[in-house]
Amino acid sequence: MDLLDTLTAKGLRGETPTREEALAVLATTDDELLDVVAAAGRVRRRWFGRRVKLNYLVNLKSGLCPEDCSYCSQRLGSKAEILKYTWLKPGQAAEAAKAGVSGGAKRVCLVASGRGPTDRDIDRVTDTVAAIKEADPAVEICACLGLLSDNQAERLKAAGVDAYNHNLNTSEGTYGDITTTHTYADRVDTVQKAHGAGLSACSGLIAGMGESDEDLVDVVFALRELGSDSVPVNFLIPFEGTPLAKEWNLSPQRCLRILAMVRFVNPDTEVRIAGGREVHLRSMQPLGLHLANSIFLGDYLTSEGQAGQADLDMIRDGGFEIEGMGEGTLPRHRADIAADAAAGAGGGGGPCGGGHGQAAGAEAGTAAAPEAAGCGTGGGCGPCGGHGHGHAAETEAGAEGTEGTDEARTDLVRVRRRGAGTELAPNA
Ligand code: SF4
């Protein structure tokens, strides 16, 4: 297949495909699916070998958000029966983080619901980071606290935070359909603030909100332009009690095509399967590891994942290996870009874009510089949500062989009842 040969050749050189080529990946048929996975898998192995990075979510503050993100179970007016609690104490958060690190996670993602942190909230996170790093100085920490105000990214960096997650979620053209209380431009601004302060930028998307193929390609190219070091790919978990509860638009095949497209557009960037992995990929999860090089271990923010041991078994059974604490995630040339950005931080923090594609000679798994990656989530300010705008559903229904409408699998959506904010042990 000429398309896949072209995409593989570009990916192996670290080059980005054209927009038309990315759209063509999403339009492939189920008969072509394994060829698509094999082609994108070659690109994944070129830059990341067979390593899988494990990340662990700690929801510092759950629910009660004043924002109206349609996909989110923590949104204003959400009727989802999720855990609701205010800020965990640093010791409680460190205890939860320890479970994830013990399970094999090298990155802990500290997430709090809300529009954005106050300066007092930055103090809380600073204390929490200190508690976690006291127990294990090597653990990477990503913060996900919403929209940042001036100087907050710098304060997080000074506190020892390594990365900041803030997802673009969907295309600029449709952002206003899913959220009205802030804008796409607000989100871009926060990613740039984080990057400008020397934090590794983690920013991704949510698929399954009724978006068109064009929307998906738009947001993935925007993330590439933004210079995100890590791209979490969330598949909407249609929580009962949210506006998108009926949006079951994804099949496992569709999810794999989306992951392959994200990999081709971001050949040398961390691609993470985030929220919705178990709900939408289901028994096809192992194929997703041939495309993404990073997943979350255990539970998400407001929903439960499969048992942490099942995550570990899946990785080992597939012939993959868990990325160690001392190993770099990004290939050397990308890690160098991230390190340069961090060294030059303090300025405006514009998108770093560019710089990709010059990777000839760089080898997978040889990064020596501090890597970058990022957080995603699984229910709140990151992975989860979903929404539908009519135009997308119509477009996809008309594309023969390109779409697999999923059946509603509400039986697979389990509200988190263990770990942070409860008396029960975390799943890790
Ligand atoms: S995604 Fe974040 S900002 Fe939006 S409603 Fe959920 S917790 Fe609030």
Q: Is 341 in the pocket of ligand 1 (CB under 6 A)?
A: no
Backbone dihedral region of 208: left (phi > 0), alpha (psi from -120 to 50 degrees) or beta?
left
For residue 146, how far is its CA from the centre of ligand 1 (angstroms)? 8
> Is residue 272 annotated as involved in ligand binding?
yes
Distance CA 270, CA 251 (A): 23
Mean pLDDT across the stretch 72-87?
A: 93
**What pLDDT is recorded for position 401?**
38
pLDDT digits (tens, 9 = 90+) for 2-13: 999 999 999 999
Please tell me if the CB atom of residue 67 comes closer than 6 angstroms to any atom of ligand 1.
Answer: yes
**b/e sequence 149-165, b meaning 16+ C-beta within 10 Å:** eeebbbbbbebebbbbb
**Average pLDDT score over the chain:** 87
- Determine whether the shortest distance from the Cβ of 216 to ligand 1 is under 6 A: no
DSSP letter, residue 415: B
Q: Model confidence over 347-396: pLDDT tens digits?
A: 433 333 333 333 333 344 434 333 333 333 433 454 443 333 333 333 33
What is the distance in A from the centroid of ligand 1 to the CA of 113? 6
The protein residue whose alpha carbon is closest to atom 7 in ligand 1 is 113
Is 142 a known ligand-binding residue?
yes
Per-residue pLDDT for 135 more than 50?
yes
144 is annotated as contributing to ligand binding = no
pLDDT digits (tens, 9 = 90+) for 19-49: 999 999 999 999 999 999 999 999 999 999 9
Q: Whose CA is nearest to atom 2 of ligand 1?
A: 381
Q: What is the pTM for the complete model shown?
A: 0.88
Choosing from 113, 234, 302 the residue with most ligand 1 atoms within 8 A of its CB, the one to mutate for a pocket test is 113
What is the C-alpha separation between 123 and 262, in angstroms, rounded? Answer: 36
Q: Give the pLDDT score at 326.
A: 86
Model confidence at 403, pLDDT cuts 50, 70, 90, reads: low
Q: Residue 407 burial by CB count (10 A; 0-12/13-18/19+): exposed, middle or buried?
A: exposed
pLDDT at residue number 398: 37
What is the arithmetic mean of pLDDT over 410-418? Answer: 92
Spatial distance between the Cα atoms of 385 and 235, rounded to a whole number of angstroms:
8
Indicate the top mutation candidate among 121, 190, 381 to test ligand 1's pocket, ranked by most ligand atoms within 8 A of CB: 381
